[in-house]
Amino acid sequence: MRLKQIKPQKGITKEKARLLARLKADGSVFKSNTDYVVSYDSSNLQEIQRTSSDISKVYGLRVKILRHRSGKNPQKLLYKMFVRSKLMYEDLLLYGKYRSENWEVPTEILNAIIDIKREFLRTFFEDEGTVLKNEIRLYSINKIGLTKIQELLREFEIESVIRGGFGLKRNVHAISIGKKQERAKFSSLIGFLSEEKNRKLSNFLSG
């Protein structure tokens, strides 16, 4: 079988930072027998298209997009973006683990320039973050991973705490940005990818 060639990789770009955050927050990178698959599901077509564009720019690969029903809620329709590529799969594995319980913030992100760190955080919070009236939360069962996200936030002088006990099994942790001045810093220095979440945060801050 002929391998699909990918573009030469030259460090971390904004597109690659977004892609790594997306896949670690809410995507899949896996091998099944001789099949190497990278996928991402979302109800938001704009985010699916953004991720597909990032894959095209970073790896030069074409992405397939399908619609399917959610396994958790059959009434809900999702978009599924996926690509099969051994070379892309192998490159992504250079940046650590991707499973919900053990995803890692890549060293390349931790050592990157501030704009790259911003793009990684913005994307991660877009996927796993929630905007509440008096708080921004980022959920994960991976507490170690959250401590690395917290380290990145500190580089923007944004203070946060990690709390546990969320979810049905009480095994979910959350980064909490509660103080208004810290949420305002997040809004001005990082923000979200979607206008919807940015607008919601802005409304709560001005209320």
Closest by alpha carbon to 38, among 26, 27, 54? 27
Cα–Cα distance list, 130 to 94, 157, 159, 168 (Å): 29, 20, 17, 17
> Would you state the structure tokens that stand for residue 57, as one six-digit string?
């720019």
Secondary-structure class of domain 14-99 per CATH: alpha beta
Domains 14-99 and 108-206 share a fold: yes
Sketch the domain layout of the chain as residue ranges: 14-99, 108-206
Identity of the amino acid at 166: F
108-206 topology per CATH: Endonuclease I-creI (3.10.28)
Q: Is 138:175 a contact under the CB 8 Å cutoff? A: yes
- What secondary structure letter does DSSP report for 34? T
Cα separation of 172 and 140, whole Å?
Answer: 6
Q: Is 118:16 a contact under the CB 8 Å cutoff? A: no
pLDDT in single tens digits along all 207 residues of the chain: 567 899 999 899 999 999 999 999 999 999 998 899 999 999 999 999 999 999 999 999 999 999 988 877 788 889 999 999 999 999 999 999 999 999 999 999 999 999 999 999 999 999 999 999 999 999 999 999 999 999 999 999 999 999 999 998 999 999 999 999 999 999 999 999 999 999 999 999 997
